Structure 1
Amino acid sequence: MKERLKNEKAEEVIKYVIEPSIKAELVRSFDNLMYVNKAHLKMIVETEIIDRSIGREILRGLNELIDEGSNNLQIDYNIEELYLNMEKALIEKVGIKAGGILHIGRSRNDLLATVTRMNSRDSIFNILKKINILRNEILIIAKDNVETIISGYTHMQPAEPITLSHYLSALLFAVERDFKRLIATYKQINTSPLGAGSMGSTNFNIDRDMTAEILEFDTVMNNSLDSIASRDYSMEALSSLALYSNNLSRIAQDLYIWSTDEFNYVEVDDSVSIGSSIMPQKKNPVTLEHIKAKAAHVLGAYVSTFSTLKNISYGHSRDTSTESMKYYWDAFHEVESITSLMIATLRNIKFNKSLMRERTLENFTTVTELANTLVRKTDISFRQAHHIVGFMVREMIEEDIDLEQVNSEMVNKYARVVIGEDIIYSDKDVSISLDPEENVYSKTVKGGPAPSEVNRQLDEISNNLEEDNIWLNTQVGRIEKMKMSLDTLQL
């Protein structure tokens, strides 16, 4: 690689560009580089581009490098790529005639593009596994709280009574969509650029479909330039990760508020809390703080990648292959972190169920049903009922009257003030309307909080989770089978 370049690399280039890149790739890409090498080797032997005896010699050298491991690979940072250092090591083992021919019909560009996609799908599978563990944890809590009454909120103000399970079901549907988005991203990623060369393909009679099949790619990329230039999948992946992280951040924010002394709805376990160095009473829910903050880092990674790719030519460059991916891998790590932190937080969380229900009687969340009942039981419109109940609540707050004191006589009093007439309405109807359980149990419309309806939602969620686990296990199994096959490759 020094034929065109006479001078050694500048110290700054090694320190800030080459060394950090090689060190990162050595950890992240060594195994997948070897799998690509073996797949390419098998293909050029089977297509008779090289002699089988030379192929066996190359395979022997590759296996020796694998057995020695990435930690024992001697790195020369004047050789600017991990792959080229691996090629140098291979040549030292089997000679340049054998070791130097492995690169036939390919380039660093398509090789790196292929490995990056393989690393990406491994990372996505790891996140998908974590997401499904989280989904299961939330599902367990939801099934135990189908009848746990809690105030629902809009604008962070008490709105209507729902159940904790209804709230958790909403979260589960959101995270399920996140899972589906990452599946779609995986399908975009799992196409093979191998064999595209530097950008203009090759006149060696390689079989790109064969290497794609060996490496368990779903298909081959149809254009050699697109194969090495495209990194839009990284933005798609980061977008999906950012959306998922945002959902977890919103969940964390709810739990964070609910854990305050003012709410006192939840208590996080000591194992996921820290104390204060000066205030002995403190128990800080720090996992929730980290989840919220780390979600911002994922968004930052998306912005970084998008900005790097925004104004570069559609071809290969270090902008494309290296700099655009700078924080891509960090984002996967952050998402793994926040998912794990959320799982740990939820596993031992405690809910103050009695207080949750009590608050629904104190914060007027049941009065919407009082207005609804006025419409059903009398001949007034909903807007008239809304005015009556709204006026009544205002007066009750001003006069410090409890909701439990409301009866038909009080309703009639405000009806006369608002619409100028009495309405026929019983104390029993008032009591039922304002009862939190009656409120919730009556809302059996699809998507509602009634236990019967939430159980239907949870059944659907459970079935979808089972199907998603089957899909995931199948895909992971394919990749593991591929790796085992290449680990034991014979030529």
Structure 2
Amino acid sequence: MKDCSTFPDPVYRDTVLAPLFDGVKTHYASHMARINRAHLVMLVETGILNAETGASIAGALARIDADTDLDALSYSGEHEDYFFFVEDQLKQRLGSDLAGSLHTARSRNDIDHTAFKMALRSRTDAMLAALLDLTEALIGKARDERETAIVAYTHGQPAQPTSFGHYLAAVIEVLLADITRLEAARDALDLCPMGAAAITTSGFPIDRERVAGLLGFAGPKQNSYGCIASVDYITGLYSALKLPFLHLGRVVQDLAFWSAFEVGQLYVPNALVQVSSIMPQKRNPVPIEHLRHLASVTVGRCDTMLTTMHNTPFTDMNDSEGEVQAAGYGAFETGGRVIALLTALLPACTIRAARVRAHADAACVTITELADTLVRAEGLSFRQAHEIAAITAQGVIARGAPLSDGYDAFVAAFDALIGRYPQLDETAFADAVSIDSFIARRTVFGGPAPSALDAALNGYARDAAAHRSTLDTRARRLEEADAALTAAFHTLTEPS
């Protein structure tokens, strides 16, 4: 049967080709222009193309870049996609034979994955910078709150006192681990696919190192099949990107709980509180809710990328290209909003000391230190001390009294179990059950005492500075590559 159809089918044009064309305009046109220039420089420098041909193509590329109004372009179906639009522009200026020389020793396959990596590395670097901004802000806040007591909860119940600084230090530690994982994923974006061509490189004596350097990569990705087939740079990146928002979502849950009226140990300032349209007494910390859902949306968008890659063939395929790549950029957008909002919110919040101490006393959260003190001062086993402390706590809670008023209950429990009165007097008892003493005595590595916390925060600050240095080094390499590409391309257009 004779096929009289012509490409593109109108439905295919509108549902696939036009959106892809718009996506290239938005995300990849500038990267493709740089790839064209770098590849041309390499072809001339290796002698694959002569200087005259290189100058003609370079001049045409420069004119195309200057003359093309990306915003005004719309997909007509005349060309399959943006790549062929640029190639057609070259043909109009140079003729088919000369224009086609630019495509020597390369393919759409290696061009596409190189452009995808270039688009991802800028977004990843911006995300790493934002995560470091948050980390550094939290380090400063933790230093300010190193002696600010809070009630720590386990299983939703008051457990022990610690400091707000100690809590934030735990958040910082996870953030730094997440940054390390994201940096490792970023390393995969630093290997350039150019030179892989369709699958197996080329019979021409191309210089893959040169192209990679001109485009700001650390070097070429080695296996040419993997350059176009292994999408681990995508799956690894979104796996790592997911984790900060999964982990920060747990912190956001604590903020919501702490700011509830019944708990009330966290105060959110008026600038970050919304009021009810009908209930005048309400102070709604709505930014916390936005943090929660935006973090979840970001996690979901990362999962979308991983799911899309699942069970796809180990080859070049559209499942990892175009619109799929663009879909992942939404994770960077919502994730960036989470980090910016949290960087503003957490340092602005304060702890309500009176509520903390009232809850701590009522819930007997310092009772563990009473048991520890009995082991040290009275020579009891911890199990004996634990039982005395438990009975003391039960007694004061039963009569609705604070633990600080529980000396009589303690003496009675001690006498009943040990058969004598304790050496611990009322002053020593009060010290044993005080929040400040509880925190100050926990000086061991990783504890909340100011000396231990200061050592931890100093280490975290060094780690953050090292990550910042890595980010700055990458930025300098990209700047130097831009300058080198500009100079090399200029040499083609105006040879000495």
Q: Secondary structure at the match of 1:158?
A: strand
CA shift for structure 1 position 178: 1.2
Opposite residue 163 of structure 1, the aligned amino acid is S
Distance 1:329 1:166 in 2: 34
**Which residue does the alignment assign to 2:218?**
218
Does structure 1 residue 468 correspond to structure 2 residue 463?
no
Distance 1:487 1:75 in 2: 30
Distance 1:103 1:349 in 2: 57
CA offsets, 1:11-53, max 9 Å, x none?
2222221222221221111221111111111101101111212
CA offsets, 1:120-139, max 9 Å, x none?
11111010111111112212
Opposite residue 450 of structure 1, the aligned amino acid is A
**Which residue does the alignment assign to 1:135?**
135
Q: 1:349 to 1:411 in 2, by over 3 A?
A: closer
**Which residue does the alignment assign to 2:425?**
426
Opposite residue 24 of structure 2, the aligned amino acid is E
Distance 1:446 1:5 in 2: 78
With CA pairs under 8 Å and 6+ residues apart, which has the higher RCO, 1 or 2?
2
CA shift for structure 1 position 347: 4.6
> Is the Cα contact below 8 Å between 1:447 and 1:453 reproduced in 2?
yes
CA shift for structure 1 position 421: 5.5
Could you tell me which runs of 5 or more consecutive residues in structure 1 were left unpaired when the two chains were aligned.
none
Does structure 1 residue 125 correspond to structure 2 residue 122?
no
Distance 1:427 1:269 in 2: 39
Does structure 1 residue 41 correspond to structure 2 residue 40?
yes
The alignment yields a C-alpha RMSD, in angstroms, of 2.2
> Is the Cα contact below 8 Å between 2:150 and 2:265 reproduced in 1?
no
**Alignment TM-score, normalising by the size of structure 2:** 0.92
Does structure 1 residue 379 correspond to structure 2 residue 395?
no
CA shift for structure 1 position 6: 6.4
CA shift for structure 1 position 461: 1.5
CA shift for structure 1 position 153: 1.6
Distance 1:147 1:437 in 2: 8
**Which residue does the alignment assign to 1:111?**
111
Pick which of 153-162 and 343-352 moved more. Answer: 343-352
CA shift for structure 1 position 413: 1.2
Could you tell me which runs of 5 or more consecutive residues in structure 2 were left unpaired when the two chains were aligned.
none
Q: 1:46 to 1:363 in 2, by over 3 A?
A: same
Q: Secondary structure at the match of 1:162?
A: strand
Distance 1:25 1:286 in 2: 37
Opposite residue 433 of structure 1, the aligned amino acid is A
Opposite residue 144 of structure 1, the aligned amino acid is D
CA shift for structure 1 position 420: 5.5
Q: 1:428 to 1:269 in 2, by over 3 A?
A: closer
Distance 2:281 2:4 in 1: 66
Q: 1:327 to 1:404 in 2, by over 3 A?
A: same
Does structure 1 residue 63 correspond to structure 2 residue 62?
yes
> Is the Cα contact below 8 Å between 1:272 and 1:344 reproduced in 2?
no
CA offsets, 1:247-286, max 9 Å, x none?
2212222112222222222333444443333333333323
CA shift for structure 1 position 221: 1.9
CA shift for structure 1 position 463: 1.9
Opposite residue 158 of structure 2, the aligned amino acid is P
CA shift for structure 1 position 186: 0.8
- Between the aligned residues of both structures, percent identity stands at 29
CA offsets, 1:161-199, max 9 Å, x none?
111111111111111111111110111221111111122
Opposite residue 315 of structure 1, the aligned amino acid is T
Q: Secondary structure at the match of 2:28?
A: helix
Distance 2:59 2:356 in 1: 67
Distance 2:226 2:74 in 1: 33
Distance 1:326 1:73 in 2: 19
Q: 1:356 to 1:64 in 2, by over 3 A?
A: farther
Distance 1:98 1:292 in 2: 56
Distance 1:124 1:394 in 2: 53
**Which residue does the alignment assign to 1:360?**
360
